[in-house]
Every structure is written in C-alpha cells, then in structure tokens.
Amino acid sequence: MSYKIGLCYGDAIGPEITKATEVMMKAGAEKAGLDIEWPVYPMGWEGIKKYNDPVPQVTIDGLRECDAWVFAPHDSAAYPKEFFERANPSGTMRHVFDLYSNARPAKVYPGVSPEKVKVDPSSDIVVFRENSEGALPDRNMYRGWGEFMPNEDLVLSISVTSRKATERLAHEAFKCAMKRKKHLTIVHKANVIQWAYGFFRSIIKEIGARDYPEVRVDDFHIDASTAHLVRHMQDFDVIITTNLFGDILSDLAGELTGSLGLGPGINTNDHQCMAQAAHGSAPDIAGKNIANPTGLMLSACMMFDWLATNRNEPKFAEAAKIMEKAVLDTMAAGEMTPDMNGTESTSSYAEKIAERIRKA
C-alpha cells in the first residue's frame, strides 16, 4: 500500500520544526518499510502571498486526498486585518475537515530540568477535547458565526452542545482509556450551566455504562479540576471535556509537566489525522535554527500510531514506536536544543534522532 502524508510548513518557526519532523518521519517510514508520498501545501503567509488566503483551496483540495498531514504553527495574529474576521488556519482545518477529536497528552519527558516540573514525575495523562462545537464561535455554526452584536454595547455568544459531537468524542476517549488505566474523568460545569453540561456529562456516562463497563468514570467541575491537576495530576489518566475547557486544561497540563513547547497532539475525524503541536509559532526565534521540534515530532508519532489502527497497517505502529524511542533517547542523552539547556540546533537534533532510527 502507498500512503500520502501532507506537509504544511506554516509561519515563523513552522518551516524549521516541520522539516526537522519530516527528517524523522522519513527515517521512520524507511525503517518500517512504508511507502509514503510527502506533498507540501501552502499555509499561512505563503498562502496569503500566493493565493490571498492563509488556507487556500489548493491546500484544502490536496489534503482531502491525504491519509494524514503535519500542520505547523501559524502566526495569524500578524496577518493583515481583513483575515481577522475569519477562522484562523487551525480553526479552518478543524471545521472544514470535521476534525472532531483533539487528543493532547501531557507527561514528564526525559531531559526536562526537575525545577521546571510542577507535578509528580509519574504524571501521564491524555486530554480529549471536543473539537467541533462548544463555545468557540469559529466552528460551532453550520453557517455564520457563534458571536454577534445586537448593538455597540452588547455581545451575545452561543455555545453549542450536541449528542452527535459528544457521543463520537466519548467513544474516542473510552477507546483510549481501555488501552491505558481504564479510568476516564469528565470535566464540565454542570453545577451552574446545568442543561448544556449536564447533557454533556450524562451522554458520556450513558456510553460508558453501556459500551465500556470496565472503565471507571468520575467527573469534576472545571474550576476544581484545575486545582486537582496542580496538586495531584498523577491521579488522572484520560480526561474528556469541551472545546474551550480542553484548550485550557491541556495547556495547563503541558506547562505543569515541564514545558508547553513539548506538548504533542492530533486532531482526527473518522478517516484522517492532523498532527499539530500545542505551542505557537515563536516569531522571535524564527530563522535561527534553535527552535525545539519535539512537540511536533511527538505529534507525528501519535499520527503514525493512529494510522496503524485506522489503516490496519502494523508498519505504522512499528515506525511510531521506533521514532518515539529515538526522540526520548536523544532527550535523555542531553542532546537537545538551547531551550532545554542543550547545544543542538533544530536540524542537528533532527539528524541525531534520524541516526538513532536508522540504527534501531
């Protein structure tokens, strides 16, 4: 079988860390005997300059033909003003491709200075964030926008909770929990927003009781859950929550375990996967070859693992395992970029990882 994995280089440090991730993926694919095409599609400033659109139609059409793709950070805050009234590139991807599930792990990785870690070193969680509706106005309407101003002194925001979106995310989170510690935590605000969050919570519990009775299910209010994460993250395993809460909790978890810059993630629908790190585009260090590509690399490892199951292709699982081990072994050896107190450049770090893959 031949597969197609797209590359969107993005803005600022995006091209540097994506090309580093590409080096790793190509080494992993070759090691596992995978036949993969790697088409490149414009996104961000490149799309604006060539097509007057940060996510041009040529990119959307190309990605529809891909099994998966790597989506670099974008610097949408710096785009021309006319692009502020539309979804940013990340929101566009999630909406256009109905990437309804956003999985973001957080754990303590090798090479992280102990003083940066604010939780028990054994902490290892995955946050499943509902990715298609909720309170984010750029993706919760079929047409139009989830925010509007009846007059200059009033803003109304609509939050959307549907059975379809909640059910499909619940199945993704429960399947993950079944492979881990069989423990799922629902994070919500049903004590105040009773109908929407009560609905969200009840659907997940219903699915758990019916389809995944082996999984222990508990739930916390969003404000309490932030305190519990800080105090004893090690007591959590898989967390399922809404779009906005998931964005906040996953960033908090990433920083508590050492650095948001190391946080990986994937966005998926039923047949495609987008690898996307949790961090931004860091324009202040762009072009210096010092950016840390670990978050995007680990996202690519997750993507390969997802493809192994979704495409029923064990070679992807083999490549994912080899790549992840190479990344973690390189970090453990202290061969890291300057942000991790190392002396490697972005490109030399990628080459060291690729060399470990080739020797595996």
Short-list 235, 50, 308, CA closest to 58: 50
Report the pLDDT value the prediction gives residue 87, as an integer from 0 to 100. Answer: 85
The contacts of residue 205 (CB under 8 Å, 6+ apart) are 186, 217, 219
**Domain contains 242:** no
Mean pLDDT, rounded, for 23-36? 98
Report the pLDDT value the prediction gives residue 121, as an integer from 0 to 100. Answer: 94
CA distances from 304 to 26, 220, 309, 330 (A): 12, 32, 9, 19
Say if residue 34's pLDDT is above 90.
yes
**Domain contains 229:** no
CA 51/CA 58 separation, integer angstroms: 9
CA 239/CA 108 separation, integer angstroms: 17
Q: Which amino acid, 331?
A: M
How do residues 53-86 score in pLDDT, each as one tens digit?
A: 999 999 999 999 999 999 999 999 999 999 987 8
Q: Which domain holds residue 39?
A: 1-104+261-360
**Domain contains 268:** yes
**Domain contains 65:** yes
What is the enclosing helix (H) or strand (E) of 25? helix 14-32
Q: Which of 69-78, 83-92, 289-298, 308-317 has the lowest mean pLDDT?
A: 83-92
**Domain contains 32:** yes
**Domain contains 338:** yes
Structural tokens at position 226: 């932030």
Say if residue 290's pLDDT is above 90.
yes
Mean pLDDT, rounded, for 291-315? 98
CA 339/CA 327 separation, integer angstroms: 16
Structural Rg of the chain based on CA atoms: 20
In contact, 89 and 137? CB cutoff 8 Å: no
pLDDT band at 138 (very low <50, low <70, confident <90, very high): confident
69 forms beta bridges with 6, 274
**Domain contains 282:** yes
Query: How far is Cα of residue 86 from the mean position of the Cα atoms in its chain?
Result: 21
Q: If you search the block for the tokens 């792990």, which residue do you land on?
A: 105
The domain total for the chain is 1
**Domain contains 337:** yes
CA 17/CA 13 separation, integer angstroms: 6
Report the pLDDT value the prediction gives residue 83, as an integer from 0 to 100. Answer: 92
CATH number at residue 71: 3.40.718.10
